Amino acid sequence: MGRLLTVTGLSTEFRTERGVVKAVDNVSYHVDESEIIGLVGESGCGKSVSQLSIMRLIPDPPGRVVAGTAVFDGVDLLQFKRDSSEICEIRGNKMSMVFQEPMTSLNPAMTIGRQMAEVMLVHMNIDKNEARERAENMLMQVGIPDPGKRLDDYPHQLSGGMRQRVMVGMSMLCDPKMIIADEATTALDATIQAQLLELMYEMVNKYHTALIMVTHNLGIVARYAHRINVMYAGRIIESGTVKAIWANPMHPYTEGLLSCVPKLGEKLLSIKGMPPSLINRPPTCAFLSRCRYRNSGCFSEPARELTHVEGQHSTACNRRLEAAGL
């Protein structure tokens, strides 16, 4: 398996009235070909922003990618200007995205068929009839009954689950190397969510596509992902294989997330407190105020970068790194 995407030192800022928000702060990770990566964290921790950054979809102003490289398939995506023809060539073609809200991600004034055809007309050298044929075939693959008729439907005639199936199909049309699923199943109810995850899993396996699953639900990631990156306050604070993280969560935040996965009949636990403001963040660990294991050292030492511990497992927790002798 070759390296598909290498992100190094990605930092994205939003300039607001109250100051500069460092939404993503020096984030580095990589994705191999046909690998499934889970990107986990609570709301507002920079998961989506980090993904939109590499797609060059951050609204500017107020947002701006200030540092870093994202080498995808041999090309640094961050060198391109927003909406330049080079990045448009990659979007939807080599790398595509599925968004959270199926109800609003499709243009209400355009039929499903035309929207699906648009991706192919932009990237592939085919005519309308062939695009329609391919769209119909894709709708069948994503399990939409009577695909030929559905092509002429408008989005409001489909339910949320169906629309998200269309979105998944649309993202696969040009046979991309990587798909980013940005909370793609969060807005759906549990049964539909399970169906869709299963569908996405089968599709990426069938076409050997890499998948980044952005979610706040560790349960989802555990079943499908190979590796997990845990984000907190704009940084990746733990990274490792699903097995390693499940068996031995090194960062107290990851441990907290794991205890938040709902289990039937048990009281639902939560991590006390709120994530810190991303404006003027202190040099110390961002999780400090919520951490159960903090000690006096945590208050004085600056937070460590994500550091490799063992196997593929890395963490940014000062205490654990100290304990590991690093």
Partner 1 sequence: MDIDIANKDDFELLEEELLPPVNEVKRFIRVFFRRKIVVVGFILVIIFLFIAAFAGLISPYDPYEQDLYNVLSDPGGAHLLGTDALGRDLFSRLIYGTRTALAVGASTALVAAAIGTVIGLIAGFAEGPAQTIIMRLTDAMMAIPSLILQIIIASILKAGVPGVVFAVAISLVPGFIRLTNGQVLSLKQNDYVLAARSMGSSRIRIAIFHILPNCLSPLIVQITMMMGIAILAEASLSFLGMGILPPTAAWGSMAYDGYRYLTTQPLLSIAPGLAIMFLVFSFSMIGDGLRDALDPKLRGTTS
List contacts with partner 1 (CB under 8 A): 55, 57, 83, 85, 88-93, 96-97, 99, 101, 104-110, 118-119, 122-123, 140-145, 156-159, 161-162, 167, 170-171, 192, 195, 198-199, 202, 206
Beta carbon nearer to partner 1, 164 or 215: 164
Q: How far is the CB of 54 from partner 1 (least distance, A)?
A: 11
Q: How far is the CB of 156 from partner 1 (least distance, A)?
A: 4
In degrees and rounded to multiples of 5, residue 286 shows phi and psi of -70, -20
d(CA 278, CA 301): 19
Q: How far is the CB of 52 from partner 1 (least distance, A)?
A: 9
Nearest C-alpha neighbor of 302 from the set 282, 283, 322, 277: 283
Beta carbon nearer to partner 1, 84 or 277: 84
Q: How far is the CB of 144 from partner 1 (least distance, A)?
A: 7
H-helix or E-strand spanning residue 97: strand 95-98
H-helix or E-strand spanning residue 6: strand 3-16
Nearest C-alpha neighbor of 12 from the set 2, 1, 25, 3: 25
Beta carbon nearer to partner 1, 82 or 281: 82
Beta carbon nearer to partner 1, 215 or 315: 215
Report CA 62 to chain centroid distance, whole Å: 21
| Residues in the chain, total | 326
- Do 237 and 42 meet the contact criterion of CB atoms below 8 Å apart? no
Beta carbon nearer to partner 1, 35 or 183: 183
Q: How far is the CB of 30 from partner 1 (least distance, A)?
A: 21
